[in-house]
Structure 1
């Protein structure tokens, strides 16, 4: 039996290889990315069975199937159970959640060998499986938890006048003119906040639409925003973002 492993984390690939071979099976090849896998499948005979990690370093492993028609049976492996728990078994042999349990691995490989012995069809409906991985409607942050001494405080997004960075820290500034240090950098906040309501105007500030009460033309083709209570520093829309900011405001 010809088995390959596609897993971007090499230590995890080696561990899975050892576990598979402890079951008396042989892993002939280990691949670590979408690009490497596409190249390998285009040049080599396809294996009987693939252990396939879903999230690879350069994309979802489904991208492999866009370039290569794979005939092999597949056991999917994933650390993300939200990818796997919705009627996932379909035409694939099985899926395994990381860290992979030896008993579950044996059940999956036994299932594969049983299907082989019965000459059952192992065709895989990739489009049907891919649809399960289609992103659901994104849920954006509605509140933040901040630490004040030994206490915790919940701040609703609607109470936030802006986010800003200062001295390598990230802060919430609220409409009641208070500041709270948080752990999340602006780069991550930018993705956690709904784009129609929040805009990152510069490396230092993310502001909500409701805070933009006044806009003043500033030097070097920039814009200055007047916020309701934040007065510690000038809130400037960087020059390269002015056009996009105006579109966002519209």
Structure 2
């Protein structure tokens, strides 16, 4: 089984590799990577591994940044000292979530879980990756709330409280009607798939706006539209001329 380890602590990476070899001599280590940047580069240049072990806090960020940059279709086992990321981890291709310091018994249980999936699904790894794809699609149903992890706490934010979604510096955020700015791990493309299209509209690459947030619309240069939003901090969003007719139809016939 071809395995990739993403871990920024050299001793932890070596210890994990040694335990894996002890548990299964057939495991082949493809690489030991220590950062978001090197992991993204490696995953873009190589075929998908059979399994990835991934620390969450890396030298230059958190591992979820890798998952935003690369379509990772391999099963993942998270190994981390931080338990607050568990729910985020299980939204991706997660087999297990192990807390450090790692115990050999826990690692064996995770590998056994993967083996069971392999036996149940047969054609390995194609059917397992297809299984993950089905789970991804199941998770893209229309949401009534989004689970947010913020300042060490997790809590749901109902979609009725959301004025708009925005992407800034490659990161996604919820902006609520009362002015809160809350981070999300999903891209806007993924978020859009989970929203009721009668209630939310993808205005452009940077914004998804709620119907209830639209205060007024004005014509803008070259047949664009300037959309003023209701929120604690007023915001103007621009809709291109190519989407202006569709947007006005949405406002009138949602």
**TM-score normalised by L of structure 1:** 0.48
**TM-score normalised by L of structure 2:** 0.48
Larger helix proportion, structure 1 or 2? 2
